[in-house]
Chains A and B, each alone.
Chain A
Amino acid sequence: MSDFEPTIVAFFCNWCTYTAADLAGTSRLAYPPNIRIVRVMCTGMVDPKYVIKALLDGADGVLVSGCNPGDCHYINGNYKARRRIKLLKEIIEQFGFEPQRLRLTWIGASDGIRFAEIMREMTEQIKRLEPSAARLKMVI
């Protein structure tokens, strides 16, 4: 499936991963253009329905990424996000979504290099899958 260009919807917290993305950009670190970034104030505000909507609209993957444990600017938003991702995985995997399609990572503001690596790796993993069923078939 190497010619398949996936779309990955990414919810990045303003303070850490978004800043890391910025840093990667200004440092001219290359990462795949497949990542479509939505900036949120904190991963703790990513309601499960944002993830579900993205997946049903044909996103091949969804990535939620925020601050490292202990670093959340709203104290514990990332811990709440982790529970929601756990919950969502339990649900969507029952309906055939592969585990690779929904990921949670913690990337600190100064981790531009790691950011670029993770974007590449996530994109590679999704390229190894089929395009999302929601892209190919009519979803009601």
Chain B
Amino acid sequence: MAKTARIEVMDQNLAEALRNFLKAVLNREEISAVLAPRRLPMKNRVMPALITDPQQLDQADPLSPAFAVNSARLLSRLTRKPSGGQVAAVLRPCEIRAFVELVKLKQGRTDDVVIIGLDCLGAYSNRDYFRWATEPPEAATQKFSRAVLTGSGAAMDGVDLSPACKACESPTAEGADIAIGLFGVDTAKEIWVQARTAKGESLLGKLGFAEAPEPASRPKALEKLIAERIAYRDEMFQRTRAATETLEKLSTYLADCINCYNCRVACPVCYCRECVFVTDVFDHEPSQYLRWAEHRGAVKLPTDTLFYHLTRLAHMSTACVGCGQCSNACPNDLSLMELFRSVAHRTQAAFGYLAGRRIDEKPPLFEFRENEFPEVVGISRPSAG
């Protein structure tokens, strides 16, 4: 069975080669549908679509810099119970990581899914994408993918990759069943495909492609890209930590928040069906507001802004995959991804955990050991961290 394969790119049309690959997948009788980014017929926009008719894949646009939603959420809906069919889901690496977290949280199942992950070329923020997407969509995506893959970069026409993508040190589809390699591959001529699980191997084997070694230039290309990303990320952590290192600074950082909770709705791993912040726990008595105001002479409304963000950090930062959808969703342009990733990096490291890395790794708060973290118990060490 094929563990790897090479797909030929004709007439330098990378998107077309990917679409043909997806058509070959959809033509397998065991695959009922493909979930993939697809252009809307009525507007120059790309949204995830569940596709059963191979012809509809002509509008699939998996390389577009549009990233309106994290599809892990959608895939969790599709896999909550057996659907009677198997879905091939085309996902970005951060969508795969979020889905892995959701599966661990029992919010989705891998049973009826084959994940096809792409090397991620990155995305523009929603706002940037809307401004930028004026050309015919096929040409726009081609311009974008060529610029990224030839090394000239995603910055063009006054827009650039979102900060989340600039800081993303995991741009390859580690958790996919089938991973599609683009970086360090001569994509004018070919795409490199790798089966990463038995499930992926079985499907890839049936598609009849010849085995192909990893292109020699790929490891170096990835190494260089990841080093750039880590450099950006670490600088971002430093900047964000300095901007939030006291309660007063954190209040300043979050001052424009209006408690709309869009960031939580857009976050793929804030998983509660009903977030505590919209329950009656937060339907405070009118008299309570007066007491709060009297206590200090004034209370800022809406209340509970820091309370909300700090609680969210406590609830889900160990699962944050750095997708940036929180920033994307904020009506007031708060730099949320920066804050959440900076904290998540520390909370995940504290438990030796990396969100989305492995499906068989338990989330930090799902387990414990008898002897651990002695430094947090007791009061004898004033400086105990």
Contact = CB atoms under 8 A, between A and B. Distances in A.
A interface, how many residues as a size bin? 35 or more
Interface stretch (B15-23, B98-106, B362-370): B362-370
Nearest to B377: A104
A25 interface: no
Interface string A83-118: 111111111111111011001111000000000001
A59 to B, nearest CB: 13
A15 interface: no
Interface stretch (A16-24, A31-39, A131-139): A131-139
B330 to A, nearest CB: 15
A69 B378 CA distance: 13
Contact of B373 (A82, A91, A103, A105): A82
Given A48-B314, A83-B368, A133 B347 contact: no
Interface in B347-381: 347, 350-351, 364-365, 368-370, 372-373, 376-380
Interface string B297-321: 0101000011100110111011000
Interface stretch (B41-49, B66-74, B127-135, B243-251): B243-251
A83 B244 CA distance: 24
B370 A79 contact: yes
Given A94-B346, A138-B298, A99 B385 contact: yes
A95 B351 CA distance: 20
Given A52-B307, A80-B368, A125-B379, A90 B350 contact: yes
Contacts of A138: 251, 296, 298, 300
A95 B365 contact: no
A63 to B, nearest CB: 8
B24 interface: no
A56 B249 CA distance: 14
A85 B311 CA distance: 13
Contacts of A86: 350-351, 373, 376
A104 B376 contact: yes
B342 interface: yes
A79 B377 CA distance: 11
- Secondary structure of the B contact surface, majority rule: helix
B306 A139 contact: yes
B196 interface: no
Interface residues of B, number: 48
B55 to A, nearest CB: 50
A138 B303 CA distance: 11
A91 B245 contact: no
Contact of A87 (B245, B251, B314): B314
A139 B299 CA distance: 8
Contacts of B278: none
A91 B314 CA distance: 7
B305 A140 contact: yes
A132 to B, nearest CB: 8
B382 interface: yes
Given A89-B376, A90-B347, A95-B244, A49 B300 contact: no
A84 B250 CA distance: 22
Interface string B225-254: 000000000000000010011111111001
A53 B379 contact: no
B96 interface: no
Contacts of A49: 276, 307, 311, 314
B239 to A, nearest CB: 13
B382 A52 contact: no
User: Of A80, A95, A96, A97, which is in contact with the most chain B CB atoms at under 10 Å from its CB?
Assistant: A95
B139 interface: no
Contacts of B182: none
Contact of B382 (A83, A92, A93, A100): A100
29 contacts: A48-B314, A52-B307, A52-B310, A53-B307, A56-B307, A79-B370, A82-B372, A82-B373, A82-B377, A86-B376, A87-B351, A89-B385, A91-B313, A91-B343, A91-B347, A92-B310, A94-B346, A95-B244, A95-B247, A97-B247, A103-B379, A104-B377, A122-B379, A125-B382, A133-B246, A133-B247, A134-B247, A138-B298, A139-B306
Interface of A: 48-49, 52-53, 56, 69, 76, 79-80, 82-97, 99-100, 103-106, 118, 121-122, 125, 133-134, 137-140
